[in-house]
Amino acid sequence: MSPKRAPAPPPLLPGYEHRRLLGSGGFADVFLYEQVLPSRPVAVKVLLSEAVDTDVVEHFRREANVMAQLSSHPSIVTIYGAAVSDDGRPYLVMEYCPRPNLGVRYRSDRFSVAEVLALGVQIAGAVETAHRAGVLHRDIKPANILVTAYNRPALTDFGIATTTGEADASTGMSIPWSPPEAFAAQPWSGRESDVFALGATLYTLLAGRSPFELPGGSNSSLDVIARIERGDVAPLARSDVPASLEAVLRSSMEVDPRRRYSSAQALGRALQQVEAEMSLSVTQMDVLDDSLPVDAVDDQDGGATRIRGVVEIDPHVGDGPRLATSSPAPAMPSYAAATQIVSDATVVRAPAGPAIPRPGELPVAAEAGSPWGVASEQAQAVRRKRSRTPIVATIAAGVLAIVVGVGIWLVVTSGNGSSQPGPETTIAAPQPNAPSKPIAMTATVEGDEVRFTWANPSPVDGDVFIVRSDPSEGDPIRETPVLPELSIPIDPDGQTCLSVAIQRTTGQQSAYEEFCIDA
């Protein structure tokens, strides 16, 4: 329960009997109610009356619609309805998940590798389903994965979700699990951003801490953000975690989004491959695709992935009283500065206002539960630190800008091409269809041969692998296998190496990834 405020009194809801408070957030409380008919426990998320303004209601309405659309997925929390109470507070009625969420569990329990792999595959299917429906979650973290009565993980809290094609400059994030692009001068979110957050969440369950927290070190928001931007992932330091799994998680958290898995489904398949390598039962990944008929079923990977048509549920948000807006936004409370230990609360970065920011400043960020775009002290601290540029560096940057500008002008005026300004961010949005290097390479000695395996981080139909090896004796090896594996003779020189690249049917080819083993 949030320590910032006392919970509001539960509303009187027809057909429901209040039981107890489950928790409180920035602008909503969650209560346990007993539904009278049919008789069952339900979780009811109720907006605070003082938080009911246009922006908050729009986020709330969006959450209801998104969760209802995806409600039939077995790893997404089910929504039963949405309405407005007699005292004017909008509320959602959702599936009650009685077990502690993963944000509570990882701080006290040690997760087994098998459990993390299984729930990773299941949540990957949920995220892939959301993406195929055109929805980005944007706040995947342990606390947003609940556990049902049947001990199945269920993704929740789509309050800051957005559609993949929506022109929405605001970005939701919880710092410890956010990708680098969330902290760019012009933040953006893509499918790769959710892949990063899911990989960071799975790492957290294994390590008992977020990937960019340093045990015994300084873990302020500024420190953690700097490590995220550099890609400084601390080693897991668990002997029971195979190297292939650690490689999968690291690949999902690459700084460059183009080097991550291109989809949640690709990440799920990589986790399934680790399960197979460990001789574990391969967890089925359920993916619902709204482009397929409801009764269509497409089994892939021998049944390991099941793709079905989406069954949509109408939330009836517009059938009852409108989610009315009332009082203006309340005064913004003060929050901890960025020098505090990094918080796992959700932060909503608002779009830039009409004022032109100073050089080096970041767009204003709003604290969780504040959709009005008011900067928190934490965001201001980040801005102040990044704007302290020495005068000499400023002059040098100005000279460099002039030189670059002249160069661009010469290119544009001398050729037939055109020049368009790009986003002012060090991390560009990924270009589609560009293959990434193979990942999770392994090597195993089998008799007088070495068996190499690897994974395709962004598989596309028709992909082949370009393989080469230059042994100290004999002819060079040049192969184009379709499957991600190849056995070659042991090099008598003592070290056997293999280099692998991915080639598309379009002719695009990734860089080579090399792996060596002493044998």
What residues are designated binding site for ATP? 45
d(CA 102, CA 241): 19
Residues 162/168, Cβ–Cβ less than 8 Å: yes
Residues 168/344, Cβ–Cβ less than 8 Å: no
227 assigned to active site: no
Closest by Cα among 436, 447, 440 to 496: 447
Residues 6+ apart with CB under 8 A from 245: 113, 117, 271, 274
Residue 444, token pair as written in the block: 């195993």
Q: Which of 62, 89, 132, 138 is catalytic?
A: 138
Each residue of 366-386: b (16+ CB within 10 Å) or e?
bbbbbbebbbbebbbbbbeee
Residues 457/439, Cβ–Cβ less than 8 Å: yes
Amino acid identity, position 345: A
What residues are designated binding site? 45
3-class SS string, 221-275: HHHHHHHHHHCCCCCCCCCCCCHHHHHHHHHHCCCCHHHCCCCHHHHHHHHHHHH
Q: What are phi and psi of 275, to 5 degrees?
A: -55, -45
Helix 113-132 to helix 191-207 angle (10° resolution) is: 160
Alpha helices per DSSP H over 152-218: 191-207
Burial of 47 (0-12, 13-18, 19+ CB in 10 A): buried
Residues 45/101, Cβ–Cβ less than 8 Å: no
Positions annotated as catalytic residues are 138
